[in-house]
Amino acid sequence: MHPSSCVVLKCQVKLPPTCNCAKPPSTIPFPRSLSLGCSLTTTSQFLPKAMEAPANITIKGILSLLMQSIDDDDDMKKKSVISLGMGDPSAYSCFQAPPVASHAVAEALHSHRFNGYSPTVGLPQTRRAIAEYLSGDLPYDLSSDDVFVTSGCTQAIDVALAMLARPGSNILLPRPGFPIYELCAAFRGLEVRHFDLLPQNGWKVDLAGVEALADQNTVAMVVINPGNPCGNVYSYQHLKEIAETAERLKILVIADEVYGHLAFGRNPFVPMGVFGSTVPVLTLGSLSKRWIVPGWRLGWFVTCDPSGSFRKPKMVERIKKYFDILGGPSTFIQAAVPRILEETEENFFKKTIKVLKQTSDICFDRVKEITCITCPYKPEGSMAVMMKLNLSILEDISDDIDFCFKLAKEESVIILPGTAVGLKNWLRITFAVDPESLEEGLARLKSFCKRHTKQQLGS
């Protein structure tokens, strides 16, 4: 089976080979209809439809398959693996968390005051610190009651969609985008409608497309800024236009700002919450990217809504009750947040931006030398960029997934196929990598493309 056909897999549960019984062991709750002897096998066909896993592609899932496809049979020819697919910069020495972060965590842990449960919505001092941090960029002040602490931004996404889902509702998602939204929507029964981001126009939102998609059952639209996977940073004016469009449509905006402040181009980062007086905004964020601690799983779900739509008692109670069933971040990690937010030096942020600017420039410049790949827009933020794949000049490459699996096998370089983020025959390249590894990975990518270019073009 070709690797590209293995993105969605179904598991089988089999009886242990030593079992010779006519019925399954009582400890394994197989349906009675399956009592057929020792060759018993169950598949998802016996699960109720609601229990079957959604068929959505996930980034971690496809990257795992790409890693498995790397040819490691010949150790003499084996190359070191270079991953340009996962947005986790913490693996590289040029991207390290600020010292105050580890000191704050150690202090909280060694105090022995944070070994118990925290309130389900988060420690009061953590909520207050996040509110003060975010308020610094807003024309109004958030209160601690507006902040709910989550286990990373992924949990914040799940909370947002869970709060909005209702029978027959739909949500507007960007294409390309972050596939966790589709996965969460599938579990919540939310219909997904995609609006386009326009590569020829700096990956701006196609606002006319948004208006055409929305109806009376649309609950929200998602805006990811700085952009993942595109590397764009929206201007104040474009965000204002998005807010005004959402207000006309009477939908709220989910602002995914996990890459907040990681901007190094023409546009400074402007939080969507600036327009909270125009349209209600749910801001999602985390420590993961800006502080380079993705494994700490410390995120937030914040209502930016000066008009008070989210402060209605029934809404507040609904959110709080949902958090009662969630497992938030470790209490001692939460306890470290106030000090981390208050004491991280500006030089740390400047260094991170400087390295990201350097590696994004390397990525953009080196790809210019590869004839089958084009970058329509130079990245100005976040940690990734989208590249267009020109299959017409390649031989024996059928699509972006085929390209990425063959690249992994031949060059031990991992790149995410655009299909995973909603754009077939594109590539997402992560540049949050040390410059030396990035140069080597892109050199291997160039060699691979040259080797697979049609002869009359490559000669």
The answer to whether 298 and 118 are in contact (CB under 8 A) is no
Mean predicted confidence (pLDDT) in 364-391: 97
Amino acid at 449: C
Residue with tokens 């389900």: 120
Q: Which residues contact 256 (CB under 8 A, 6 or more apart)?
A: 153, 157, 178, 222, 223, 224, 225, 228, 284
CA 447 to chain centre: 29
- Inform me whether the pLDDT recorded for 382 exceeds 80: yes
pLDDT of residue 77: 60
Mean predicted confidence (pLDDT) in 344-358: 98
**Of the listed ranges 51-65, 66-80, 375-389, 403-417, the one predicted with least confidence:** 66-80
Gyration radius (Cα) of the chain, Å: 24
Report residue 72's pLDDT band, with 50, 70 and 90 as the boundaries.
Answer: low
Interval 206-231: pLDDT, tens: 999 999 999 999 999 999 999 999 99
Q: Give burial (CB, 10 Å; 0-12/13-18/19+) of 196.
A: middle
| Residue in 324, 234, 329 with CA at minimum distance from that of residue 287 | 329
pLDDT of residue 58: 87
**Of the listed ranges 30-39, 83-92, 122-131, 425-434, the one predicted with least confidence:** 30-39
Amino acid at 369: E
Interval 3-15: pLDDT, tens: 443 433 333 333 3
Q: DSSP assignment, residue 217? A: T
Q: Give burial (CB, 10 Å; 0-12/13-18/19+) of 385.
A: buried
Amino acid at 444: R
The values of phi and psi at residue 30, to 5°, are: -75, 150
- Collapsing DSSP to helix, strand or coil, 378 comes out as coil
* Cα–Cα distance measured from residue 299 to residue 158, given in angstroms and rounded to the nearest whole number: 12
Residue with tokens 């947040």: 337
- Inform me whether the pLDDT recorded for 314 exceeds 80: yes
pLDDT of residue 455: 80
pLDDT of residue 378: 97
- Inform me whether the pLDDT recorded for 279 exceeds 80: yes
Report residue 312's pLDDT band, with 50, 70 and 90 as the boundaries.
Answer: confident
Interval 165-178: pLDDT, tens: 999 999 999 999 99
What is 303-355 written as a DSSP string? EE-TT-GGGSHHHHHHHHHHHHTS--S-HHHHHHHHHHHHH--HHHHHHHHHH
| Residue in 270, 193, 186, 258 with CA at minimum distance from that of residue 224 | 258
Cβ neighbours of 255 (radius 10 Å): 28
Q: Which residues contact 457 (CB under 8 A, 6 or more apart)?
A: 371, 393
Interval 106-145: pLDDT, tens: 999 999 999 999 999 999 999 999 999 999 999 999 999 9
- Inform me whether the pLDDT recorded for 155 exceeds 90: yes
* Cα–Cα distance measured from residue 220 to residue 165, given in angstroms and rounded to the nearest whole number: 10
What is the percentage of the chain residues whose pLDDT exceeds 70?
86
pLDDT of residue 344: 98
Interval 223-260: pLDDT, tens: 999 999 999 999 999 999 999 999 999 999 999 999 99
Measured CA distances, 358 to 17, 75, 122 (Å): 56, 33, 37
- Collapsing DSSP to helix, strand or coil, 296 comes out as helix
* Cα–Cα distance measured from residue 123 to residue 129, given in angstroms and rounded to the nearest whole number: 10
Report residue 352's pLDDT band, with 50, 70 and 90 as the boundaries.
Answer: very high
Interval 40-66: pLDDT, tens: 344 445 555 555 666 777 899 999 999
The answer to whether 287 and 299 are in contact (CB under 8 A) is yes
Interval 182-193: pLDDT, tens: 999 999 999 999
β-strand pairing of 281-286 with 384-389: unpaired
Half-sphere exposure of 245 (CA within 13 A, CB side): 23
Amino acid at 352: T
* Cα–Cα distance measured from residue 74 to residue 77, given in angstroms and rounded to the nearest whole number: 6
Interval 287-310: pLDDT, tens: 999 999 999 999 999 999 999 888
